[in-house]
Every structure is written in C-alpha cells, then in structure tokens.
Amino acid sequence: MENFVVSARKYRPSTFISVVGQTSITTTLKNAIQRKQLAQAYLFCGPRGVGKTTCARIFAKTINCLTPTADMEACNECESCKAFNSSRSFNIHELDAASNNSVDGIRNLIDQVRIPPQLGRYSVYIIDEVHMLTTAAFNAFLKTLEEPPAHAVFILATTEKHKIIPTILSRCQIFDFNRIRVEDMVGFLAQISQKENVTYEVEALNIISQKADGAMRDALSIFDQVVSFSDGHITYQKVIDNLNVLDYQYYFKLTEDFIAGDFGDALRIFDELLSKGFDAQQFVSGLSIHLRNLLVCKNPQTLQLLEVGAAIAERYKQMASQAPPNFLIRALDVANQCDVTFRQSSNQRLHVELMLIRLSELNQQKKNELTDNQVSEPKADAPQAPQSVASRAYHSATGGGSEAVKPIPKVAPKSISIRDAMSGKAAPEATKPKGEESRAAQASAVDAHSELASDSADDIDDTDDLPLTTEVIEFTQQDLEREWKRYAALIKTSKASLHSLLEMYSPVVTDSFHITITLESTIQQELFSQSKGDLIKHLRKALHNNLIDIIEVVDEKTVGSAKPYTADDKFKFMCQKNPTLVKLRQQLNLDFS
C-alpha cells in the first residue's frame, strides 16, 4: 500500500513563483539574490500557515544553487539543489527554538556557525519559533547575529513578533507575511483538485478557504478531510455538513424575517439551529458577519470586501437591495453588542432571543416613525400652528390639558427676525403684543414650562431638549433673573465657585439680546469667562432668544477696593489691619493654602 502524503507536504511550494499570496516578499528576496545584497539575518513573522518556513527553505536553497535561472529560481539540477531536495544538505540547518531555547543550545549553535559550508557559498541557519528563546539565550545570540562569519546567514521565523527583544529586531531585516486571501486559496485548491482528479464546487472551496482563516496549511488539511468525507466529490452541502458550518440560507431567511418584523419565525429558526448542535455564540458571530456583508454590498466601492463565491455574492446583492442602510447599521450594532455581552449572560439562549426580537422590531420602528410623521403633517385645507413646548405648558397651566380638541390660545410675543435684530430695526406693529395681558400670558407659559422642567435631576440641563428659535423673542428682567438663578442652582454641585459668583451678582438687560454683568475683579472675570458659553446656551434656549450675549464688565472703581477673593488677597488685607502678621509668618515659617 502506497504511503499517503498530506497535501500540505505534497504540494508545499519549492520555488518562489509557487508561493501563494506573498508576492511582495518573494520579489524582494529574488532581487536581493540577483543584486548580491544578502543580509546576515532575516526575520520572517506573520500568522500560522502563510509560508514563513517555506520561503526560508526556498531562499536557502536558491542562494546555494550553483546555476540559478534568469529569474533567480533554483535550477533543481545542480548538486546543491539535489542534496537539498533529498534532505541530505549539510549547508542548511533547521533548528527548533522551542526545544533549544536555553543558553547551552545557543552556545552549540555559535560553535557550529564557525564551520564553513562543504558545498555552496552559504551555511543557512533557519530557527523556527524563535520567540521561544529565553532572554538569556537572546542575549547570548546577539554578538553572533550582528557579526557572523561571511558564510553564515540566519533566518528567524516566528508567529509572535512582539515577544522578540528589540536588540534582536534591530539586527534583522524584517518581513511581515500577510494572511492569504480567500480568492488565492480557492485558486490554489482548485489546482490541487485538478491534479488529484477531485470534482468540486467553487462555493465548497470558498467555504474551506473561509474556515482556514488565512492559513494555507489549514486549508489543505481541511481539504484532505473533506475529500475523504465526500469520496472525491466536493459539494457545498457536504462541506457544511462535515465542517458543521451554518448554511447561508439560514441567515438570508432570518434577514427576511427581520425586515418583515416576524420575530416568531426568527425564534423558530434559532431553535432549529440549537437542535442541530450549533453553538449560540457561533450563530451570533456568523449573523454579525452576514449583516456586515449585506452592508458592504450597498456601496460598489466596498463590494470588493465581500469574501464569498460568485453565486452567494449575487444573493447578497439581491438581499442588500431590499434592506435599508439605516436598518443594517442598527442591526449590526445590536448583533455586535449581543456578541460582546454573550459570555456575561446567565441565560445565554434568552440573551440571543432578545437580540432576535430587537432586530425584528428595528424596521417596524422606522415604519411607525414615518407613519407618525405623515399623520402629524397638517392638511392644506385646514392649516394648524404646531404646538411648541411652551404652548403645551401654557395649555396645561390654563386648564386645557384634558380637552382633546380645544384650540390653544395663540400668544403674540413681541418678536423680530434675526436680520432685523442685528440691524437694530424694531419689530413691526402687527407682531407686538396688545396690552399687558399678552405679556402676562407669555410669562405664564414660560413659568409653566420652567415648573415642568424643574422636575428633572439637579445636575441635568433639560433645556437641551428645547429647539433653538429662529426669532428673537424679547424677555423681561424678571425672566432673566429667574433663568439666571435656575442655572446657578443646576451647577451648584459641579461648579461651586461659579455658582457663588452668579448668586452674588445680578445681570442687567440692556436691549433685546444683550445682557451685562458687572464684576469687581479680573479674577472674577476670568472665572466667569471660562463657563460663559454654557450659560449663554442655557439662556438662549430657555428664553427663546438665539441672539442673547453676555458682556462682563469690571468696575474700575472697585478694583482697588474689591473684597479679598484669593487666599493671597485675604492675607494682604489682614496685614493692612495688623502688620505684625508679616513678622509672625516669617518667624514661624508659616504658609497659607
């Protein structure tokens, strides 16, 4: 019986051109050989199964080839190449750092490096998993790695570059190997299938490549496993059955349920998957990837990010055309949150089911919002003024909250446009309130709104919910003082110094949108200026005047006679009344905080 050789060994690349997915690295190495610019040490790093050791072996074979080809490939005809192919070359030494990680192992290597090659020009030392060396072994290796004999070339390979000390990294040329793309893997597996007389479906090879996660060695191992299972006829269904991979059709059906809002069918599908032995977290992770694939299909520029076969890609395009982008973005966020918090959940099945219910409600919520917006639009034959927050508060304060159809009394505040306010023009007569009753009604509406807003937490400025108006509504000194004190109460805990300042000094209304506050020192002015923007924002929203501005003025008459504010000012003030405090402070070496 003929011995079976696994595909990972049987079809291991033996030339640079046969290496899959690492074109930039192989081109660099061939150019270095052609220009005779070989470094004394190389570091090949990257994920598992991407060709690090394979490229090291090909490089070692090529630099010792006696008659290389024009494109810098080994000839496989000279004595050196034949010795390498038959595993009897004394010029190429492969070491495992995991089993030779001590200082003694490195000492033996240093002694061996001194011996020149018997055939060829270079003695190449390939040290695999070099990150397993101890710190002492690394330090013992430094001098030889930096200044080896002219005939010695070191090639270090590792999957964990971050574990190698910087002094080693600085002595090597570093090559970072990439994960092999799904398309490259599918093409290579198709070539092997043809050589092995194995029939295949492209979608089946695509699933194998995705399962390998960028590692060609893993893909070849899975390929051998599936060939044995399918008896030489690789199909999509046999691959997902053998590898226990979720079928795309489940995710497409779930997406249709999410769009239609049918959470019952979504829960049924999830129960069916659990009964077939699929892991719940694997299902959530796969659903996130599925939603991501749908999202990248919405834009032709991101379509290249889709790593699936042609038939599945066409299905993704069709489904993406039915799913709104906002729905996909929100659905992807919900699925990702479920994936992140899955392990912390005590009832993981219920956790996933709640996610499915939320996903089923997303599109329905959007439809309800659109319906509500359409219903709330006034008809052309019966125009109605929209109700603002202040209007609703006024309606509630005047006893109209229980009447469903009772019209809200219209208040005509004295208002001017922003353009007129900036130019100094007065409001037209038609927009001015008639008598004090209109002004009282307006003040009552604002007071009612303030009472409703004061029920919120002390540390939350609930005026953020009020929209900025495009008009400039005049306000009284009483309105200003009320909102001024309200803001001071809101910042009592978070900004105690500014709270005291606002309680101490009162603002004055100068015109329709200018407010002046007189302070006693430049220190107070600096403290006030730091938070003036938040105060202006509060007043603009609360008083419905988008042009409010605050001007702080320092009273020059009180600068010299201002009350002591800082600790230094207080000490100087006390010294003026009692000069002996200066001597007492000097004698006892006192200080104040």
Least confident of 52-56, 201-205, 427-431: 427-431
Nearest Cα neighbor of 293 from 267, 268, 319 is 319
pLDDT given at position 317: 86
Q: Which helix (H) or strand (E) holds 551?
A: strand 549-554
Report yes or no: 7 and 223 within 8 Å, Cβ to Cβ.
Answer: yes
- Cβ neighbours for 169, distance < 8 A, ≥ 6 positions apart: 43, 161
Residues 262, 265, 269, 270, CA torsion sign: positive
pLDDT at 248: 84
Residue 293 to residue 328: CA distance in whole angstroms: 10
Q: Are 42 and 156 in contact (CB under 8 A)?
A: yes
Domains of the chain: 7-176 (3.40.50.300), 182-243 (1.10.8.60), 248-372 (1.20.272.10), 435-558 (no CATH)
Q: How far is CA 220 from CA 20, 149, 166, 209, 224, in A?
A: 13, 39, 35, 9, 6
User: What's the rounded Cα separation, in Å, for the pair 170 and 513?
Assistant: 66
Q: What separation in angstroms does the CA of 51 have from each of 56, 172, 301?
A: 8, 18, 31
Q: Is 46 helix (H, G, I), strand (E, B) or coil?
A: coil
Question: Which residue type is seen at 373?
Answer: N
Instruction: Report which DSSP code applies to 180.
Output: P
Per-residue confidence at 120, pLDDT binned at 50, 70, 90?
A: confident
Confidence category of residue 592, pLDDT binned at 50, 70, 90: low
* Average pLDDT score over residue span 526-549: 82
Q: What is the pLDDT of residues 471-529, one digit of tens each?
A: 567 778 888 888 888 888 888 887 877 878 788 888 888 766 778 888 877 777 787 88
Per residue in 376-392, pLDDT (tens digit) is 554 444 444 444 444 44
Q: What confidence tens digit (pLDDT) does each residue in 318-361 have?
A: 888 888 888 889 999 999 999 999 988 889 999 999 999 999 88
CA distance 183 to 170: 35
User: Range with the lowest mean pLDDT among 73-87, 363-377, 533-547?
Assistant: 363-377
Residues contacting 254, CB < 8 A, separation 6+: 266, 269, 287, 356
Q: Do 493 and 459 contact (CB within 8 A), yes or no?
A: yes
DSSP states along 234-274: E-HHHHHHHHTPPPHHHHHHHHHHHHHT-HHHHHHHHHHHH
256-311 residue pLDDT tens? 989 888 889 999 999 998 988 888 988 999 899 999 988 888 887 777 777 777 77
Please give the structure tokens belonging to residue 511.
């015109």
Q: How confident is the prediction for the chain on average, in pLDDT?
A: 79
Beta bridge partners of residue 125, listed in sequence order: 93, 154
Among the listed residues 456, 473, 474, 475, the one whose alpha carbon sits nearest the alpha carbon of residue 465: 456
343, with CB counted inside 10 A (0-12, 13-18, 19+), is exposed
89-93, 314-318, 494-498, 534-538: least confidently modelled range? 494-498
pLDDT-based confidence at residue 454 (cuts at 50, 70, 90)? very low
Give me Rg for the CA atoms of the chain.
39
Instruction: Select from 63, 68, 15 the least CA-distant residue to 39.
Output: 63
pLDDT, tens only, 181-219: 888 899 999 999 999 898 988 888 988 988 888 899 999
Q: Quote the pTM value.
A: 0.57
Alpha-carbon gap, residue 264 to 268, rounded angstroms: 6
The rounded percent of the chain whose pLDDT value lies above 70 is 79
Cα 49–Cα 50–Cα 52 angle in degrees, nearest 5: 95
The pLDDT value given to residue 156: 93
CB atoms within 10 A of CB 379: 7
Backbone conformation region of residue 475, classed left if phi is above 0, alpha if psi is from -120 to 50, else beta? beta
E-assigned strands of 123-226? 123-128, 152-158, 173-176, 199-200
Max Cα distance, the chain (Å): 113
Q: Are the beta carbons of 451 and 415 closer than 8 angstroms?
A: no
| Alpha carbon distance 42, 344 (integer Å) | 44
Q: Compute the distance between CA of residue 544 and CA of residue 469 in angstroms, rounded to an integer.
A: 6
Other Cβ atoms less than 10 A from the Cβ of 573: the count is 11
Cα gap 533→552, rounded to integer Å: 12
Of the candidates 175, 178, 242, 179, the one whose C-alpha atom is nearest the C-alpha of residue 207 is 242
